[in-house]
Each structure stands twice: as C-alpha cells, then as structure tokens.
Amino acid sequence: MKEKERQRKNRDIPEALKAKLRDSGVREEILCRTEVDMDTAGEYADGYLLLTKDRLIVALLPPDNRRTRSFRGFGEQEPADGAWVLRMFDAGQVESVWVEDCIGCNLIVGRVGGMEMPLAGCSNFRKRRVVDFVRAMESWTKDGTVKPMTEPEEEYCPKCGRMYPDPRRKVCPHCENKTSIFLRILKYFKPYWPLALVMMLCIVATGALNLVWPYLNGAVLYDRILAKDPAFLRQIGLGEGKFALALLLLVLTMFLTKLTLLLAQVLQGVCSSRMVVQVVRDMKKDIFSMMGKLSIGFYRSRQTGGLMTRVLSDADRVSGFFVDQAPYVLVHLFTITFTVIVMWSLNWQMTVMTVVLLPLLVAVSLILQPRVWVMFGKRHRAERSLNSCVSDNLTGARVVKAFGQESRESKRFAAYSDRLERGEVSISYWQNYFQLFYGGAQELATCAVWALGVYFIFGGGNMDLGLLITFAGYVSQLQGPMRFLANISHRMADSLNSAQRMFEIMDAVPEVQEAEKPVHLDRIRGELRLEHVTFGYEVNRAVLKNVSLTIPAGQMIGLVGRSGAGKSTLVNLISRLYDPQEGRILLDGVDIRDLAFSDLRRSVALVSQETYIFSGTVMQNIAYSNPGASLWEIVEAAKLAGAHEFIMRMPDGYDTMIGASGKGLSGGEKQRLSIARAILADPKILILDEATASVDTETERMIQKSLQYLVKGRTTISIAHRLSTLRDADYLYVIDHGVIAEQGTHEHLKEQQGIFYKLLELQTRALAMRGVD
C-alpha cells in the first residue's frame, strides 16, 4: 500500500512545474497528462503534456545530457524538475494531435490554427502512454470532454523492484519463482517416485562404499595385514598367524565392494534414464498442448521455430539437471562431511592441511569456469549461424544456382565455419588452461599431504604407511565433490532459467480467451454484424478503423481492396484469431467474445491461399474438420470440390499418403483438398481468403464451380483480387486503408466510378491486352 502511495506521489507533477503553471495563470484542473522524454530537436529532455478544459500545455525542461535516461527495466523514475518552458495552446485552436512513428523515436504533432507543428518527442519507452493520451484527448478537440486514460500496468515486482517478464502474468522471476519453480518441477517427478527412491538408495550406497574403499586398500591392507598385526586377526575372529587367509578375505571384500559399487551405478543409470525420458515427455506434452491454446498474437511476437526448439531443449535441460545433478548435491555434501570426519579421526593435523588447501580448488573453479561457459555460449551462437547459412542455401538452392553464386556462398560458409573453429579452439584453450590450474592445485594438495605424512612417519608419530595411503585416497576423493559443488550454482541457475522459460509458455495468458460462462447457440443462422470495429497489430497503427457492416444470414459478400488494406485482418477477427480493440462483432446478435469457442469454430470455416496439408492420407486430410465423417461423405465432399478425379488418378486413391512424408501435390490440388475439407465441415459461415489466387485460370474455373456449391445457404465472405471471382457476391465492400471506402452491389459500384470501378477497368484492360497477344 505504502509502495503504491509512493508511486502515485512520484507520478505527481514536480513542484517547480506547479509553481510555473500557477505563475502562468493556469488555474484549471489538469484533466489528464503524460510524460514525454524528448524535445522537438531530437534531444532527450524531460517534459509533460498536460490537458485542462481550456488548453493543451506542453511543458519541457531544456535538454540535459548529464541526466541518466532510464528506460523500461529500471523502475519508476524520480521526475526531473527545473526551469520549465511552457507552450500553451487554446482549446479552440488545437484541431488535432497525433503521434508520428519515427525511427527509434516518436514525434507528437499538432495541427494548431491550420499549421502542423511538432509539440514534443518521445522514446518508444513512453510511446504507449503518449498514444493513450492522444487518444484520450480526441474528443477534447471537438467538445472539451476527455476519455479516461487506461491505468498503466504494474510492471515491477513490488518486493525487489525487478521488471516482470510478462506484466500480465505478474510473476517476478527473482522473488517468487525459485522455490515454486523447484516444487513445480518436482511435481513432474512425482508419478515416478519408486524409481526416484531406488535411485536415491543407489546414490547413498555409492557414497558409503566410496568411504570404505580407501580404508580397505590403505589402512587395512598395509597397516594390518602387511604389518602383520595380530590384534587385527583377533578382531575379525581368525586364528593366530592366518594372514594369508585374512588377505584373501580382504581381497574378496574389496572385490565385493567394487562389484556392489558398479551394480549400484548401473541400477542408478537405468532408473535415471527411464525417469528422464518420461519426465521430458510429460513436459513436452504440456508445452505442446499449451502452444495450441495460445493465440496467434503470441506467435506473431516471437519466432516460432526458435521458440519451439528452445522450449523442447529446455525440457531436456531441466530434467537432466534434476536427475544428474540435484540428487548429488546431498550425496556430495554427505560424502564431504563424513570423509572429513573419518579423516579427522585418523589424523587431525593432516586433515587441517587438506581442508586448508581444498578451498583453493574451489576458488580456481569459481574463477575460471564462468569464462568457459561464456565460450560455450559463443560456440553455440557460431554453430547456429552456420546452421542457418546451410539451411538458407538448401532452401534457396535454385536461386543460388540460377544466379551463379555458388562460390560466394562457399565463401560465406567458410567465414561462418572459421568463426566456429575459433570458438572451438578458444574453448579447448580455456579448458586446458582450467585443467592446468585445477590439476596444479590438486597436485599441490596431494603433495602437501604426502609430505606431511612422510614427515610424520619419519618422526615416528602415530602414522603408518597404510594410513597415509588411505588418507591420500580420501583427499583425492574429496576433490570430485568439491569441484561439483563449485559448479552447481551455475548449473542450477541454468536449469532454473530453462524451467522459467518453459513455465513462461505454459502460463502465458492467451490474448483471446473463452468467456467464463460462454453462450451456446444450438442453431446458428449465420448473421454477422461488425459494430465500430477498430484493430491494429501494433500500438498507434490501426489496420481497421471504425468498421461497421452487416451480413445477412446466407448472403455472400465480397471484400475488395489493395493488399495490406485490412481484408485478411477483418476475417481474422471474425474467426477470433484476434479480438478487436474497440467495437464488437456479433454472430446472430451475440458478441463472439461471449460465444463458446467450440460453437464459433464449428460454424466458421476458412479456405485461404495458405493450405495446410499434414502428413497422412488424403482421407485423413479431408476429414480433418470432421473426423467422424463416413467414407461416403468424404467422397461426396471431394466430388463437390472437384478433387475426386485427381485423387483417383493416384495409385492408392483416398488412402494415398500425402504431405511431408508422401506424395507432393500441386497448388491447385491442395486448394481443392482444403475446399473439400470446408465442404465436409458444413459451416454456417464460410470465409474464402484468396482461395483461388495461386491457381491457373482453368483450375480457377473448376474451383469456382465447386465454390458455387459450397456457398449455397451459407454466409460467405470472399476476399479476392480477381474481381471476376466476386461475380456471384450479393454485396461488395471496398476496403481502403482500414476503412470501408465504398459499398454496394456490383452494378452500383460500377456506376460510382470510384476505386472499384478503377480496379475493374484495370483488370478488364489487362485481360483485353492478353487477348491481343
């Protein structure tokens, strides 16, 4: 609460500005405001845009290059204060204000008294709020009212001040996650607890037996048996002088110890590999099903390919850590503690010696290892660019050959592989370097122990040769766990980061969500209405602006317009791949946001120029939209789509394997399959997005014919560049730069002599010219 108050206070305008406003005669209440961070000469400068009922005020401080600019990620800023310069514009004069996107910055421009002028600038960091402000003041220029600005999203963790990676999810990676991530990962292991238990037992057994081994081959072998200690024989219950038998027993014990060790390790390996495979599978399953639920917008903002591989390899890394590293933390701690205790009981002076020297090893690891990690990262990046060079070349082989650029491509490849080579070399260089230091420190520790031990033996203290050997064994055994623990923090951070990325996807909130209590429509008539729909993929760039239209049930409308005019965006909104930012879309009078996903998806089908053929049989591909369809229904649909003939020309008919793993299909054939799919889906609303753009004229005519069957009795929205495609449309809309520029029937539009007429003329003329040829 206190934090909130502090923030609010921070957001208050600074004292000197208040005074300046008072002095300049601004007495009215400030209705809304926003911060800007650049002036109109391309310099960083602090400032505000303020709006009162009578005027727009631009308050700027002179540019100050000494002030640190903090952008997103560095918390709320202390507002700057100083010698404010005000520019005031009376409400009557300001005609409009807008934000112009520049390169790396934005310009806020106003039209005041017929003159366009820059008011202030802002970085992309401030852009969202500034755009909000400008939108809020749209009505102000007309009637003096101000729309409330949206509250800014809480972006920083209130506990530690770090930025949320996703402000809508509000999970701070630093504060909440470490333990919760840990527990969440453990959940994946829960179903396999018997395996985990066996694994733990094996690990503990290994640790314990490792402790016994040096004692057997050192103290027992040398000091008891070789030194012929009679007390020892009595102790283990053997007769006087039977040292040979004792030796045999010892060897047998040693053999059994090693054998058990081996067995435990094998068993552990089997358990861990079984567990890892299953856990990774479970994680990937979860990720994949989540990816299906995410909205298209999520994929737009990320690179899908990279995302996929990264996430999948993340799953490997996470579970790998939990199986191959995490359990050993306990074991190694246990080993270290007990080894030191045992050593202490054998000889405390030498133990002190060892314990003093071992931290040296840890230090070497801590200092040198991170460098090696950076090198690994570098090599990974080099590898990636090499791979993408190869894949560029493979996919573009035709172009490369056609332009005769093989040798240049080889050179490009050579440059990348040189980089990779340098990466490899520097890694092995550093690794050897590391080995040198680490090995050196290790040898130093061992030598010191030997020297001290021998010194004790010379001095006739309580030290025997065997004990010394045992001791040396313990020392070398300590080094592994020490080194492991020195590295564990890095590995753990690495794995938790992977886990975080994974959970980020699993927890991502889909932008398009089903309503909590969705409305179910049993019978959909198919009447569509768009009311004042505004939408843009990015801030400040609306693709559709205040579009309203009504499509009566069963009618076919055509959408015409230049590419990029917003036609496809409109149908994306209807199929709810995105939600409009303003306005709403009604299906039979119900907002599609309230409609159950299943009902909506069932009633809308899309045939676009992007055909999706997955690997499977022709039949499976057609039945994709309706898996329960009977074989005859599939054939019927294919017949109507004009696909039956070419399907029957293939050797295995409807059972022919197609897609990635099978026979290739031509563009027109794929198109006809997707039409068959749409026919089988039997939707109430059919969207044809350039369905015939990629096929030749004859095929188009065929497809047109089958489309005529398809559109009967359905609400159809058809997008086409070829206006001949839209002959059958009941009504046409011409979309230009996101607004409906013209509408009407074919004849009506022709008479209007507008954009449609122009396009039509161009196309007939183009056709006529072809005729001449």
Partner 1 sequence: MMAKKQQEDFSLEQMEQESEEVLRPRFLTKDNAVFQRTGGGFLSLETEGESYSRILAARMFPFQEKEKYLSIRTTDEHSKEIGIIKDMADFDEETGQMLREQLDLRYFTPVITKILSIRDEFGHSYWEVMTDHGPCRFTVRMGGNSIVHLSDVRILVMDIDENRFEIPDLEKLTARERKKLDLFI
Q: Is 42 in the site for partner 1 (CB under 8 A)?
A: yes
> Residues 62, 377, 440, 510: which binds partner 1 (CB under 8 A)?
377
Concatenated DSSP letters of 171-205: --TTTTHHHHHHHHHHHHHGGGHHHHHHHHHHHHH
Q: How far is the CB of 118 from partner 1 (least distance, A)?
A: 6
CA distance 452 to 472: 11
Q: Is 174 in the site for partner 1 (CB under 8 A)?
A: yes
Contact by Cβ (8 Å): 486, 365: yes
> Residues 6, 22, 24, 117: which binds partner 1 (CB under 8 A)?
117
> Residues 127, 129, 714, 746: which binds partner 1 (CB under 8 A)?
127
> Residues 27, 65, 148, 407: which binds partner 1 (CB under 8 A)?
65
> Residues 497, 534, 608, 694: which binds partner 1 (CB under 8 A)?
497
> Residues 25, 104, 237, 404: which binds partner 1 (CB under 8 A)?
104
CA distance 618 to 637: 12
CA distance 467 to 219: 5
> Residues 379, 501, 644, 670: which binds partner 1 (CB under 8 A)?
501
Q: Which stretch binds partner 1 (CB under 8 A): 39-47, 469-477, 620-628, 634-642?
A: 39-47
Q: Which residue has the tokens 């990779």?
A: 420
> Residues 28, 90, 591, 761: which binds partner 1 (CB under 8 A)?
761
Q: Tell which residue, 242, 211, 229, 208, has the closest CA to residue 465.
A: 229
Inter-residue long-range contacts of 430-438, CB under 8 Å, 24+ positions, other chains counted: 430/368, 430/371, 430/372, 430/375, 431/372, 433/368, 434/364, 434/368, 434/369, 434/372, 437/364, 437/368, 438/361, 438/364, 438/365, 438/368, 438/483
Query: Reduced to 3 states, what is the DSSP secondary structure of residue 420?
Result: helix
CB atoms inside a 10 Å sphere around CB 600 = 21
**Token pair of 684 as six digits:** 């109430």
The nearer residue to partner 1, 694 or 763, going by C-beta atoms, is 763
Q: What is the distance, to the nearest Å, from the Cα of residue 308 to the centroid of all Cα atoms in its chain? A: 8
CA distance 349 to 338: 17
Q: How far is the CB of 135 from partner 1 (least distance, A)?
A: 16
The nearer residue to partner 1, 124 or 265, going by C-beta atoms, is 124
Q: Is 163 in the site for partner 1 (CB under 8 A)?
A: yes
Q: Is 116 in the site for partner 1 (CB under 8 A)?
A: yes
Q: How far is the CB of 283 from partner 1 (least distance, A)?
A: 18
Contact by Cβ (8 Å): 740, 534: no
Q: Which stretch binds partner 1 (CB under 8 A): 35-43, 200-208, 620-628, 699-707?
A: 35-43
**Token pair of 253 as six digits:** 């014990």
> Residues 6, 72, 532, 712: which binds partner 1 (CB under 8 A)?
72
Q: Tell which residue, 71, 79, 59, has the closest CA to residue 12.
A: 79
Q: How far is the CB of 121 from partner 1 (least distance, A)?
A: 8
Q: Which residue has the tokens 């206006």?
A: 723
The nearer residue to partner 1, 37 or 588, going by C-beta atoms, is 37
Which H/E stretch holds residue 743? strand 739-744
> Residues 7, 80, 85, 125: which binds partner 1 (CB under 8 A)?
125
Residue type, 385: S
> Residues 5, 25, 27, 103: which binds partner 1 (CB under 8 A)?
103
Q: At what angle do helices 667-681 and 631-640 cross, to 10 degrees?
A: 120
Q: Is 73 in the site for partner 1 (CB under 8 A)?
A: yes
**Token pair of 242 as six digits:** 């039977």
Contact by Cβ (8 Å): 108, 119: yes
The nearer residue to partner 1, 127 or 672, going by C-beta atoms, is 127
Q: Is 490 in the site for partner 1 (CB under 8 A)?
A: no
> Residues 55, 69, 184, 293: which binds partner 1 (CB under 8 A)?
69
The nearer residue to partner 1, 71 or 429, going by C-beta atoms, is 71
> Residues 102, 266, 367, 660: which binds partner 1 (CB under 8 A)?
102
Which parts of 722-751 interact with partner 1 (CB under 8 A)?
Answer: 737
**Token pair of 182 as six digits:** 């840990």
* Burial readout 444-459 (b: 16 or more C-beta within 10 A, e: otherwise): ebbebbbebbeebeee
Q: Is 173 in the site for partner 1 (CB under 8 A)?
A: yes
Contact by Cβ (8 Å): 659, 615: yes
- Classify residue 541 by its DSSP letter: B
Number of residues that bind partner 1 (CB under 8 A): 53
The nearer residue to partner 1, 134 or 680, going by C-beta atoms, is 134
> Residues 6, 12, 28, 74: which binds partner 1 (CB under 8 A)?
74
Q: Is 765 in the site for partner 1 (CB under 8 A)?
A: yes
Q: Which stretch binds partner 1 (CB under 8 A): 15-23, 112-120, 283-291, 582-590?
A: 112-120
The nearer residue to partner 1, 608 or 752, going by C-beta atoms, is 752
Contact by Cβ (8 Å): 676, 646: no
Which parts of 257-316 interact with partner 1 (CB under 8 A)?
Answer: 303, 306, 310
Cβ neighbours for 171, distance < 8 A, ≥ 6 positions apart: 164, 165, 177, 507
Q: Is 236 in the site for partner 1 (CB under 8 A)?
A: no
Query: Reduced to 3 states, what is the DSSP secondary structure of residue 627?
Result: coil
Residues that bind partner 1 (CB under 8 A): 38, 40-44, 64-74, 100, 102-105, 107, 112, 115-118, 121, 123-125, 127, 162-163, 165, 173-174, 303, 306, 310, 374, 377-378, 497, 500-501, 737, 753, 758, 761-762, 765
